[in-house]
């Protein structure tokens, strides 16, 4: 069996780096706005440019197809965090969150889907958040953007089958973006008390789920959002 070819959007993210490390036999087209920080040891093409630039994305995909002839999966890790109540959120901050999380996925899929349709197969994994399904204080912008991504997953799964679309919804995960919470002992303790599994998730936890969903072993799973949040979105701790 030939090695799978995966597109990794936002390849400098900690989850993306873990996903790459967990798939040493895969070949990667790495897309990022800055040079990748930790190049993989295997076969890859690295392209630096804007995730909103269709021509950049199209030329990058052409490079991958010229070398490998097919593309098996697309993992979208672009994103950011904004923790601010809605009435204090500036319109440019709101638009920036949607641009990072939703519009980059839209542009990437717009360029990629004709290739998947021509191939007759492909797998897409997007990154949502527990904030899209549980009301969390000061998460209005990120919750709205991630809710849009989850709706996109379900609609695309219906429109473009047999191409598969899924997402993971992380809870609090160790990363540079979550450092304000993780770096504060009171904030971290309060957050973990909401979870049935009271530990901080690692990027490797998320990467393992992406690896499963993007690969052939999950071939009957599509249109799903898998929560990886220690039970935050599905259990209620009573403090007993």
Residues 6+ apart with CB under 8 A from 69: none
Which DSSP helix (H) or strand (E) runs through 16?
A: helix 14-21
Dihedral (C-alpha) 44, 46, 51, 52: value to the nearest 10 degrees? -110
Cα–Cα distance, 196 to 138 (Å, whole number) = 22
Looking at 21-148, which runs of residues are DSSP E strands?
A: 27-32, 44-48, 73-76, 123-127
* Spatial contact of 10 and 31, defined as CB atoms under 8 Å apart: yes
Mutual angle of helices 203-214 and 14-21, in 10-degree steps: 60
What pLDDT score was predicted for residue 62?
A: 98
What pLDDT score was predicted for residue 90?
A: 97
What pLDDT score was predicted for residue 109?
A: 98
What pLDDT score was predicted for residue 1?
A: 59
In the chain, which residues have pLDDT < 50?
240
- DSSP secondary structure letter of residue 3: P
Q: What residue ranges define each of the domains in the chain, with the CATH number in brackets?
A: 5-172+202-228 (3.40.50.720)
Dihedral (C-alpha) 200, 204, 208, 214: value to the nearest 10 degrees? 110
What pLDDT score was predicted for residue 192?
A: 73
What pLDDT score was predicted for residue 232?
A: 83
- DSSP secondary structure letter of residue 173: B
- CA-nearest of 154, 64, 43 to 111 is 64
Cα–Cα distance, 135 to 56 (Å, whole number) = 37
Question: pLDDT tens digit string along 21-69?
Answer: 999 999 999 999 999 988 888 899 999 999 999 999 999 999 999 999 9
Which DSSP helix (H) or strand (E) runs through 112?
A: helix 104-119
Counting beta carbons within 10 angstroms of the beta carbon of residue 61, is it exposed (0 to 12), middle (13 to 18) or buried (19 or more)?
A: buried
What pLDDT score was predicted for residue 56?
A: 98
What pLDDT score was predicted for residue 177?
A: 67
What pLDDT score was predicted for residue 240?
A: 46
Chain position carrying tokens 């993210």: 13
Q: What are phi and psi of 138, to 5 degrees?
A: 65, 25
Which pTM does this prediction carry? 0.92
Mean pLDDT of the chain: 91
Question: pLDDT tens digit string along 149-164?
Answer: 999 999 999 999 999 9
């Amino acid at each position: 069996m030939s090695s799978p070819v995966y597109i990794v959007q936002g390849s400098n993210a900690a989850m993306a780096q873990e996903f790459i490390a967990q798939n040493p036999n895969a070949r990667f087209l790495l897309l990022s706005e800055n040079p990748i920080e930790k190049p993989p040891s295997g076969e890859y093409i690295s392209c630096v440019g804007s995730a909103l630039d269709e021509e950049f994305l199209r030329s990058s995909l052409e490079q991958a197809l010229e070398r490998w002839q097919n593309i098996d999966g697309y993992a979208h890790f672009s994103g950011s965090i904004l923790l601010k109540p809605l009435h204090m959120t500036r319109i440019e901050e709101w638009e920036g969150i949607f641009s990072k999380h939703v519009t980059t996925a839209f542009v990437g899929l717009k360029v990629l889907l004709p290739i998947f349709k021509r191939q007759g197969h492909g797998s897409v994994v997007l990154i949502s958040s527990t904030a899209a399904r549980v009301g969390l204080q000061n998460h209005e912008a990120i919750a709205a953007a991630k809710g849009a991504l989850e709706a996109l997953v379900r609609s695309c799964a219906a429109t473009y089958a047999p191409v598969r679309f899924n997402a993971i919804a992380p809870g609090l995960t160790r990363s540079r973006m979550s450092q304000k919470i993780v770096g504060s002992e009171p904030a971290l303790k309060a957050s973990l008390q909401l979870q049935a599994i009271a530990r901080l998730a690692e990027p490797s936890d998320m990467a393992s789920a992406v690896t499963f969903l993007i690969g052939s072993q999950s071939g009957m799973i599509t249109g799903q959002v898998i929560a990886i949040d220690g039970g935050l979105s599905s259990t209620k701790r009573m403090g007993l």
